[in-house]
Structure 1
Amino acid sequence: MIGLDWQGLMRAGLHGLRLTPAQFWALTPFELQTMLGQTQAVAPMGRNRLAELEQAYPDASFGENDGRRR
């Protein structure tokens, strides 16, 4: 897991952006980075990549006797 500079993020959020603690902790790290202007554009996923993921992680089929409800 990538470590986050919580002290720096809290300083930027609470002092720089003047967020309340509740507002700060309600944000995701991505939202906070966006507010601080630190995000980079990410290209949307294409059909080929989606097909690769579908093949690598297929949906489980539900059998009649597996105990799960539909």
Structure 2
Amino acid sequence: MTGFDWPALLRTGVKGLGLRPAEFWALTPAELRLMLGDAAPAPLRRARLDELLAAYPDGEGGGNDRGI
């Protein structure tokens, strides 16, 4: 269980916001929240950045997966 009511969110995006399904699925959660009028997401704090860096470390040598 994800905790999200996807059918209701999709219905809101398509019927309420006038989005096409592909446009809805291309949104990030932050973009959808903004479009629905929710408050802006909390800023990324250092502690959360450290958590993300630990969970998703750069590969050997840094850069991206194209070797750049």
Return the TM-score normalized by structure 2.
Answer: 0.56
What are the Cα deviations for residues 9-63 of structure 1, in whole angstroms up to 9, with x where unaligned?
0111000000011111111122111100123452452xxx45xx39xx5x8987x
Structure possessing the higher radius of gyration over alpha carbons: 1
Return the TM-score normalized by structure 1.
Answer: 0.55
Give the count of matched residue pairs.
57
Percent of pairs identical after alignment? 48
- Alignment partner, residue 11 of structure 1: 11
Letter of the structure 1 residue corresponding to residue 21 of structure 2: P
- Alignment partner, residue 30 of structure 1: 30
Partners of 2:41 and 2:18 in 1: how far apart? 26
What runs of 5+ residues in structure 1 fail to find an aligned partner? 63-70
Measured after TM superposition, the shift of residue 2 of structure 1 is 4.1
User: With CA pairs under 8 Å and 6+ residues apart, which has the higher RCO, 1 or 2?
Assistant: 1
Alignment of 1:1-70 (within 5 A): 2-45=2-45, 49=46, 53=50, 57=54
